[in-house]
Amino acid sequence: MQQNWLERYYQQSGMEANGRTYEILGLRACYRTLARLFGEKTLPDTRAIQSMTTLSESGLDAPALDRMYHATRYYEAVHLVCATFTLPLVYFTLIYWNLWLFGYAFALFALHLVNTFQERYKRCLCWLLIQKPGSKTAKSETEPPPPAAEIVAPLSGWFTPARFETMKFYRVLGIERIRRIVLNVTSNTMLDDRQRAKGEKPAYMNGYSLENVRAFQKQTQTAEVSHIVGLFLHFPFLYHFLREGFWTGGAYVLFMNVANAYCALLQRYHRVRLARILQRQRRR
């Protein structure tokens, strides 16, 4: 089967295949910092992987690595899109010769660009580990799912959906359309040609076990905070452009903020949908 342009883009080149190139460029330190920040498991470096004889030495299993491998495709696309959308801000602040905002915009662009390459680095590590002989059986395959009464993932504070946050409320806001767009993007990035040909769908949760439900809820919380932070990071541009009467730039930043707001609301919509699914599971 001939690869499409997306598959050719995601394929690692010979220079980056073993991940060592990215470590020489200093991406390892950045990767460790962000992994700790978001509570992710840090993968071993290339030298540690090369010294392993089996996958079990890493404490990871093949299914989890495969999910992580394909997830990096999606997040790489997200950061690449964000970097592309930040470039006009770099240009706008340069032509208006606001050095502080130019440096700020360039820093945001560089951050997204670094994260783009970091996802490629993580994919290299996953690939090296997947090639190791032997693996542990995924926990979800060895342990039966917990009783329905135990499928509870408590939330508190800001992340708890309010009473007015119902599925109908979010559908009126048009969140369901946003969800379908995101599903289409994830299907085209997290799945390769072989998986799409088999009709597979992206695995957001590997069953409704307590561990998987909590992991998914944590993902929605992290994503929601990331989009809210992104919204606030763009306010300096909005303030400056509107104060200077640069309406084109102001409209552009406003569009970016609306997009971030809708993506944050999408995460809350996920939690509302999940609460409804869990309620049905408990009644069985």
Instruction: Using the predicted structure, report yes or no on whether residue 46 has a pLDDT greater than 80.
Output: yes
Q: How confident is the model at residue 202 (pLDDT cuts 50, 70, 90)?
A: low
> Per-residue pLDDT for 125 more than 60?
yes
User: What residues contact residue 275 under an 8 Å CB cut-off, 6+ apart?
Assistant: 161
pLDDT of residue 69: 87
- Rg of the chain, C-alpha, whole Å: 21
In this prediction, residue 143 has a pLDDT band, given cuts at 50, 70 and 90, of very low
The pLDDT value recorded for residue 283 is 61
Q: Please write down the HEC assignment for all residues of the chain.
A: CCCCHHHHHHCCCCCCCCCHHHHHCCHHHHHHHHHHHCCCCCCCCHHHHHHCCCHHHHCCEHHHHHHHHHHHHHHHHHHHHHHHHHHHHHHHHHHCCCHHHHHHHHHHHHHHHHHHHHHHHHHHHHHHHHCCCCCECCHHHHCCCCCHHHCCCCCCHHHCCCCCCCHHHHHHCCHHHHHHHHHHHHHHHCCCHHHHHCCCCCCCCCCCCHHHHHHHHHHHHHHHHHHHHHHHHCHHHHHHHHHCCCHHHHHHHHHHHHHHHHHHHHHHHHHHHHHHHHHHHHHC
- The answer on pLDDT for 74 being more than 60 is yes
pLDDT given at position 204: 63
Give the model's pLDDT for residue 54: 87
Give yes or no for residue 123 having a pLDDT over 70. Answer: yes
Please provide the size of the chain in residues.
Answer: 284
Any idea which of 49-53, 78-82, 256-260, 275-279 has the lowest mean pLDDT?
275-279
pLDDT above 70 covers a percentage of the chain that reads: 82
Q: What is the pLDDT of residues 211-250, one digit of tens each?
A: 677 778 888 888 899 999 999 999 999 999 999 889 999 9
- Say which residues have a Cβ less than 8 Å from residue 80's Cβ, sequence separation at least 6: 112, 116
Q: Is the pLDDT of residue 72 over 50?
A: yes
Start-to-end Cα distance in the chain:
44
